[in-house]
Structure 1
Amino acid sequence: MGTTASGLATWALPFVLGLAVLERELSAAGLGVVLAARTAGFLGAVPVAGVVADRHSRRGVVLWAGLAAAGAAPVIAWGLGWSLAVMAVAAAVMGAGQGACRPAFQALVTEVVDVERRQTANAAMALATRTTTLAAPGVTALLATVLDTTALLVGIGLLWLCAALVPPRGAPARRVDGPRVPFWREFVDGVHEARRHPWFLAGLGALTAVIATGYSATSVALPLISRDRYDTEVVLAAALTAYTVGGLIGALVVARWRPRSQGWTALAALACYGFAPLALLLPVPWVVIVAAYVVAGLGIELFNVPWFTATQREAAPDKLARVSSLDFLMSYGLAPVGLVLIAPAIDLFGVTAVLGTCAAVCFLAPAAAALVPTTRHFARSTGESR
C-alpha cells in the first residue's frame, strides 16, 4: 500500500500540473521548471538515502521521506499562480522524498517478507503500481471535474502521507560500533558491494542502456509518429495503455513463474523492449505498434521483479539500500539525459536512424550482459544464496 501510494503520487504530479497548464494557472515553461526541480531533488536524494537507510532504520527513512513529500504538496499548491520559485523548491523537496523512499522501500521488503516469498511480494507491488497507473488517468480526470488544481495537489500530499504512515515496522536500527565512517566512504562501500556481483553490474548496464535509448526514443517518437503517420492521437493513447496492460500481465506471470535460468530469462524479457522502437520504425498497421508495446510492458516486468528479488537476496543486508540506490541512480536517473539527447538526435540524423539504433541497443545490451558470468541465475553461485 505504501509503495503503491508513493507511485501514484509520483505519477499524479505531472498530470495535475498539466491540468493547471490547461487552466492557464501555470505556463508550459513553468511546468518544465517544476518537473526539472523534482528530478533534481530525486537524483540528489537517492545516493544520500541509500547511506542513511543502511545507517539507520529503513522504516524511519520511509516515514520522514514520505512526510517531507506530503508537506511539499500543499506548498506547491500555495505557490501556484504567483511564485514559480516557491513551486520549484517545494517540487525539489517532493522529489527528494521520492528519491529517499526508493532504496528504503527496497531494503524494507527484506525485513518484512520471508526470502521464499519476496518474488511474489515484488510482483504484487508491481501489479498494484500498474493497476493504479491504468486507472489513475480516468480517476484524476473525473476528480478534476469537481475539484480544482489546489485540491488535487493536496490529494497528492495525502497519498504521500499514506506512503509515510502505512508500511509496517521493519527491523530496528543497526548499531554501528567504532568511529563513524565518512558519508562518502559509506557510499563507496555500497559501490564496492555492487562490484562483488558481476551479474548486477551487467544487468544494471543493460537496464540503463534500454531506458536511456529505447524508453527515451519511444517517449519522443511515439507522439510524432502517431500524429504524422497515422494522423490520430488514438495510437498514442492505445500504445501507452497497452504498455501498462503488458506490465500487468508480466506481474501476474512472474508472481508464480520460476524459470530455471532466471537471469537469462529476465534479460531476454528486457530485450523485448526493442520491439517498441522497431515497430515505430517500420511502416506497419497501428495495431502492430500497440502489440509491440504490450510485449515491451510484459518484458519490463518479467525483468524488474526477478531483478529486485535477486538484489534483495544477494546483496549484503547492511549494504542493500546503497546497492539499490545505485540501481535507481544509474537506470532511472539517466533517463532524463536520454530524453534531452533524443530530440536533437532525431533532428540531426532523422527518426529512422535514431529508432534503428535504439532498437539495436535494446536487443544487444541484454545479450551482452548475458555473456557475463553469474548472470544466468542472478547469483554469485548456483548454490545456496544468502
Structure 2
Amino acid sequence: MPTTPVPPSVAERERPRPLLRDLAFLRLWTGATASGLATWALPFVLGLAVLDRTLTAAALGLLLAARTVGFLAAVPLGGVLADRHSRRGVVLWAGLAAAASSPLLAAGLDGSLLLMTIAAALAGAGQGACRPAYQALTAEVVDPDRRQGANAALTLATRVTTLVAPSLTALLALLVDTWALLLGIGVLWLAAALVPGPGTRGTAGDEPEAGAAGPGRTTLVGEFAEGIREARRHPWFIAGLLSLTAVIATGYSATGVALPLVSRDTDNGGLVLAGALTAYTAGALAGALLMARWRPRSPGRTALAGLAAYGFAPLALLLPVHPAVVMAAYAVAGIGIELFNVPWFTSVQREVAPDKLARVSSLDFLLSYGLAPAGLALFAPAVDALGLRTVLAVCALTCFVAPAAAALVAGTRHFRRGTAAALGGATRGRASV
C-alpha cells in the first residue's frame, strides 16, 4: 500500500542550506581562494627569480614596494567603487587588472625593470581593490545566520594555502621556469575575477542603493569620508581597528624581523624558524575550524582576547626558553588571530550600513595592513637604538595592552552598538557549514 509523503515542516523548509552545498557561496569561496593564492604566490615566485639570478635583491625590494603602493592606493578606491556600483563588477575588473599584470611581469624579466615595477603596482592595485569588494560581496551572497561559518571557511582556505603552497610552488619551479609561474599567477587572478557570481545588488551598471552615490557626493574623497563617518558611528569598530593595527605593526614586525634573528643565534635555527611559522599556520587552521562552529556569548571580548594572544610570540622570543616553547607560543598566536578575525569580519558585515560596507572594510584593510610595512621599516632601527630585548618587550606589551584597552570601549563585548540589541540578537546555535 503506497504511503503518502509527509510534507516538510516549517522549520525544515526554513533551515538554511549548508554552505558546502550552496553554489553561490562555493563560487565566492573559490574566487576568494584563488585571489589569496595569487596574492601569496607573487612575492614567493619573485623570490625564486632572485635565487636563479634573474632578479637582484634590490630589484625584488623595489617590486614589492611598488606592489604595496598599488595596494594602498587602490584599497580606498575599491571600497568607494564597490559601494557606488556592483560589488561583483569591482571584483571582476580588479581581478582582470591583476591578471593583466602577470604577463607584463613575465615580459619584464628580460631586462625591463621599469615595466616590472609598473606591473607590480598594477598587481597590488588589483589585490587592494578586490579586498573590500569581496568582503562586501560575502555579505550579499551569505545570509546573516551563516556568515560566521562563511568567514571561517574563507579564512580557512587562506591558511591552507599558506601551509601547502610553498612546497607546491617549489615543486613546480623544478618543472617550469619563473616566466611560466608568473603566467600561472595570472590564471589564478582570472579565476578570482570570473568565478564568483553576482550578489543581491546585481551586475555592474545597476543603479546604486540609496545613499551609495548622489548629486551631493560626486567626489571619491567625499564618498570615502562618508565611509569614515559611518565607521565612527561604531565605537567598537574604531577601538578594535586601532588595537588590530597596533598588534600587526608590532607583533607581525617581531615575527618578520626578530624571529629570524633569534633563530640565527640558536642551534638548529632553521628548524626554529620553520617550526614557529608552521605552528602559527597550524594554530590559525585550528582557530578557523573552532570559529566555524563556536558561538561565544561575548564574541567581542573573545575576539580581543584572541588578538592579545599574539603577544605570546614576541614574549617567547624575549625569554630564554626552549625552541618548543617558541613554537607553542606561535601556535597560540595563530589560534588567537582567527578567534579575532572571524567574529570581526562577521560583526562588520552585520553592523555596518550595507551601502557603506565596502568603504568601512577598505578603511579596515588600509590601516591594519597598510601600517604593517611601517612597523617592519621601523623595527630594525629601533633594535639598533634600543636593543632587541627592549623592542621585543615593547612589542609584547603592546599586543597585550592594546586589545585590553579596546575591551573597555562601549559595544566591544558583543561588537555591537547597543548592549540590549546584542543580548537580544546574539546567536546561540550552530551554523550549517
Alignment TM class, shorter chain as reference: over 0.9
Which whole-Å deviations, capped at 9, do the CAs of 1:268-288 have from their partners, x for residues lacking one? 000000000000001101000
Match of residue 156 from structure 1: 185
What is the aligned counterpart of 1:78 among 107, 119, 122? 107
Unaligned runs of 5+ in 2: 1-29, 426-433
Match of residue 121 from structure 1: 150
- Aligned to 1:24, the other structure's residue is in SS state coil
Match of residue 96 from structure 1: 125
Q: Which has the larger radius of gyration?
A: 2
Contact 2:106-2:182 at 8 Å conserved across structures: yes
Q: Match of 1:120, as an amino acid? A: G
Contact 1:54-1:318 at 8 Å conserved across structures: yes
2:363 equivalent to 1:326: yes
Match of residue 45 from structure 2: 16
Match of residue 297 from structure 1: 334
Which whole-Å deviations, capped at 9, do the CAs of 1:171-201 have from their partners, x for residues lacking one? 2241555455322111110000000000000
What is the aligned counterpart of 2:168 among 139, 147, 153? 139
- Give the distance between the partners of 1:243 and 1:203, measured in 2 at CA: 22
Which whole-Å deviations, capped at 9, do the CAs of 1:272-318 have from their partners, x for residues lacking one? 00000000001101000000110011100110010000000000000
What is the aligned counterpart of 2:302 among 265, 279, 283? 265
Match of residue 226 from structure 1: 263
- Give the distance between the partners of 1:17 and 1:320, measured in 2 at CA: 34
Contact 1:243-1:296 at 8 Å conserved across structures: yes
Contact 1:26-1:81 at 8 Å conserved across structures: no
| 1:99 to 1:165, Cα distance in 2 relative to 1, 3 A | same
2:85 equivalent to 1:56: yes
Match of residue 254 from structure 1: 291
Superposition CA RMSD, Å? 1.1
Which whole-Å deviations, capped at 9, do the CAs of 1:206-264 have from their partners, x for residues lacking one? 00000001111221010111111235211111111111101100000001111111100
- Aligned to 2:383, the other structure's residue is in SS state helix
2:149 equivalent to 1:112: no
Match of residue 220 from structure 2: 183
Contact 1:247-1:299 at 8 Å conserved across structures: yes
Unaligned runs of 5+ in 1: none
Contact 1:230-1:286 at 8 Å conserved across structures: no
| 1:233 to 1:81, Cα distance in 2 relative to 1, 3 A | farther
- Aligned to 1:259, the other structure's residue is in SS state coil
Bigger mean CA deviation after superposition, 228-237 or 358-367: 228-237
2:353 equivalent to 1:316: yes
- Give the distance between the partners of 1:147 and 1:224, measured in 2 at CA: 33
Q: Match of 2:356, as an amino acid? A: K
Count of aligned residue pairs for this structure pair: 386
User: How is 1:203-218 mapped onto 2 (pairs within 5 angstroms)?
Assistant: 203-218=240-255
2:96 equivalent to 1:67: yes
Shift of 1:384: 4.2
- Give the distance between the partners of 1:185 and 1:179, measured in 2 at CA: 9
- Aligned to 1:233, the other structure's residue is in SS state helix
- Give the distance between the partners of 2:403 and 2:273, measured in 1 at CA: 27
TM-score (norm 1): 0.98
Contact 1:43-1:329 at 8 Å conserved across structures: yes
Q: Match of 1:21, as an amino acid? A: V
Match of residue 12 from structure 2: none
Bigger mean CA deviation after superposition, 361-370 or 176-185: 176-185
What is the aligned counterpart of 1:4 among 33, 43, 51? 33
- Give the distance between the partners of 2:387 and 2:105, measured in 1 at CA: 39
User: How is 1:31-50 mapped onto 2 (pairs within 5 angstroms)?
Assistant: 31-50=60-79
- Give the distance between the partners of 2:260 and 2:219, measured in 1 at CA: 47
Identical-pair percentage? 69
- Aligned to 1:21, the other structure's residue is in SS state helix
Shift of 1:319: 0.3
2:48 equivalent to 1:25: no
- Give the distance between the partners of 1:6 and 1:57, measured in 2 at CA: 19
